[in-house]
Structure 1
Amino acid sequence: MNKKVLVSVFALSMFFGLTACSSEKPEEKKEDTKVVEKKEEKKEEKKEESTDAVLVREISSKTYTVTIPQLTSFYTPSRDGLEVKTEVNEQQISYTLEDEFGDFKMAIYVNPISAESAEAYANRINEGFKDDESKQYKPSTVGDFSGFRKVTTSENPSFKCKDNLLLDFESVDGSAVVMSVTVEQFNDTDTADMEVAMKAILDNMKVEVK
């Protein structure tokens, strides 16, 4: 074969080979896309702690639940600067109001009583004080509430006044529950706040029986 022809054939084969190579497109690298899911943070709702005083007590196969809102939400003492403490034990709800110098102190106690009626309970106690009427319960009213009441005072070693009311208190379901509300005051002979505090408790107290 002619030498020139061989050179021409070789040149053509090289040309077409390069053309074929240049026509092939390089593979595009697919970038990995990570889908990031945003998790919505659940905002925890802050549950407000109840400030109610709640007493749950079993009496004669029944459950009594006595609920009283925070004392300072419905009762304002006439004296300023008193520290108020609330305590609930197995028997009663109690409050103490006291100034930092100990010149004044008031205590309040609220509890249900196992009795057929306030009158029957008062009469049973009065039987033990037939010769001393000052220690007997007598019919009385506090605001819109009627019951049997005993008020005693002493001055030894310091002044103390105790006011106790027994009453048939209407529960949530309409039944009567015998309740005892006691207010004590120490050191200060001005007892005007005692009945005000007792009435405030009675107006805001709720009792459930199951």
Structure 2
Amino acid sequence: MANLTFDYNFNNRASSSDSDTALIYPEDHFFNFTQPLGSSQLAPDQPIDSNSTNTQTETPSGLWNGTSEDSTNNDSISPPNTATFVSYATSLGNFGKMVKCSIPLSTSSEAKFDLYCETIDPDERHALQYALSLETLDLLKDIHKPGRWVVSEDLKKMIIMYCKAFLLSPTITSYRGNCSERVLKAMTELNVNGLPSEKNPLHISEVITCISQQLTSFRSVMKSK
């Protein structure tokens, strides 16, 4: 750093009202200061070595990492307790095993549940839970609204067979009345596959309609012969 020389002439006098304590500065007395800029000590008529260590500014012990924060403030921030996390994860894992023993889950659901129990960070856990909620929403969207139930082809074949057997039975005295219900009762007693539950009247009604159509068709064929 370049040296800067100051020549200051003290021509003024400093005095007090008391002559005994008056301070008199001699006229034309020069103080030559030859120091590098930034020096903290100035002495008259004494040159300062440019290599003096006074030109170096020490960094206070409280400053670190180029910031002005006091280290005592950082000391108050304690690091995370790893033992606490490990203990919490172990406890949650054991509880998860108890839950899986009491609630039957599929293989896929068990894997997702284990992943949730192993996740300790709250933000990561919230993200995982939100993703699972979106997955559930997508599954619900894929479920179409049930339309009109129709008789399956296999069940229709069984209806045709039972209708023929009913119309060709020698015990039948009349084709009128509740013939469709009687055919359905016989199929139910013989545990024909594909029949809807009796608790679902709409589906039962569809089966009765199909039976009635087949009986009408076969009666027409029999009359034509």
TM bucket, shorter chain: under 0.3
Q: Is the radius of gyration larger for structure 1 or structure 2?
A: 2
Q: Which has the higher strand share?
A: 1
Q: Structure 2-normalised TM-score?
A: 0.20
Of structures 1 and 2, the one with the larger relative CO (CA 8 A, separation 6+) is: 1
